[in-house]
Amino acid sequence: MPSLLILLIVLSGTFTMLLLFYMMLGLGPYLSPYLANGQSYKEFRSRCSFDADKSYWPDWVSSLPDVMNISSLSIPGTHDTMTYTIANSTLQCQNWDLKTQIYAGIRYIDIRARVKNNILTTYHGDEPTGITFERILLTIYDWLDTYPREWIIMRLKEEGEPIGHNNMTFQEVFEDTFNNYYFIKERAKKHWFAYNTSMPIPSVAQLRGRILFLQDFPSTPPWKYGIEWNGPQMMLQDEWIVKDVDHLDDKWKAIEEHFDVTNFRPNNNRHLYAS
């Protein structure tokens, strides 16, 4: 069993999914004509699954010992978490909404946002999901208020240049969301994990009830809001291009090799391993 945080990106043809902690989310309603069971897509069978709604683990973190470091855990998560609304099969990576994913046990989410008319809205490339960053935060806050011993890790990536009419940068809109949005600002004080680069990776207890950001966007000063996504604390395996569905096992092999690497690295709370 891996001893460090693993973010497992799995590609099924043109669809991308993410496994952490032996779990997999995938594609669903839009693919229903092709799905014979939870492990097949267009008659191709793999270790991917499409039935996260069958899992119900809304509070599994609650039972973990406070003293554990999150870097000692294998954490379930999804890639391009918000793409369940996208009809384009090349860009849709998930088939379940954020609440379903979280209640299934997902504790790492991958959020790709762009500034559009001074609002952070999630995208995959140039394809909008129609879901704002504010809506994502409210979904998480509602869950954390119900299960205050839980937490979530969020990669937040700037997914391209601003669109529409804007007079704020990505960083400014990010801060504006927390400081000035009526339904966010008071709750953010409770659920924000205030990370700085001098801090160690947090323990389970330190993170309870909060969101830890993996920052994948520029800011002044740098890495003001969370752990640098492509920085020295992150060990990434990101072979995200798979030739076709028949080569899906190539990605699984890369993931398994990354698991093996983590087993031989010291568990010293210095790194998060992402695959």
pLDDT tens, position by position, 206-256: 999 999 999 999 999 998 999 999 999 988 877 777 777 777 788 788 888
Query: Could you tell me the pLDDT band of residue 9, with boundaries at 50, 70 and 90?
Result: very low
- What are the chain's domains? 8-274 (3.20.20.190)
Q: What is the mean pLDDT of residues 23-43?
A: 38
Q: What is the DSSP letter of 70?
A: G
| Location of structure tokens 């497992």 | 8
Query: What is d(CA 56, CA 62) in angstroms, rounded to the nearest whole number?
Result: 14
- What lies within 8 Å, CB to CB, of 232 at 6+ separation is none
pLDDT reading at 159 higher than 60: yes
Q: Give exposure, 80-97, as e/b (b: 16+ Cβ within 10 Å).
A: bbbbbebeeeebbbbbbe
Query: What is d(CA 102, CA 147) in angstroms, rounded to the nearest whole number?
Result: 11
Q: How far does Cα 230 stand from its chain's mean position?
A: 15
Which of the listed ranges 4-13, 29-38, 57-66 does the model predict with the highest average pLDDT?
A: 57-66
Q: What is the mean pLDDT of residues 165-185?
A: 97
Question: Active-site residues: which are they?
Answer: 79, 124
Q: Give the lowest-confidence range in 142-151, 184-193, 245-254.
A: 245-254
Q: Give the lowest-confidence range in 36-40, 48-52, 182-186, 198-202.
A: 36-40
Q: With the CA atoms of 104, 106, 110 and 116 taken in that order, what torsion angle do they form, in degrees rounded to the nearest 10?
A: 50
Per-residue pLDDT tens over the stretch 42-92: 354 555 567 788 899 999 999 999 999 999 898 988 989 999 999 887 888
Pairwise pLDDT comparison (8 vs 88), residue with the higher score = 88
Inter-CA distances, 90 with 72, 79, 83, 125, 160, Å: 34, 14, 11, 11, 18
Mode of pairing for the β-strands spanning 15-19 and 8-12:
antiparallel
Query: Could you tell me the pLDDT band of residue 19, with boundaries at 50, 70 and 90?
Result: very low
Residue 45's pLDDT is 54
CB 109 within 8 A of CB 39: no
Query: What is d(CA 190, CA 220) in angstroms, rounded to the nearest whole number?
Result: 24
| Location of structure tokens 């330190």 | 206
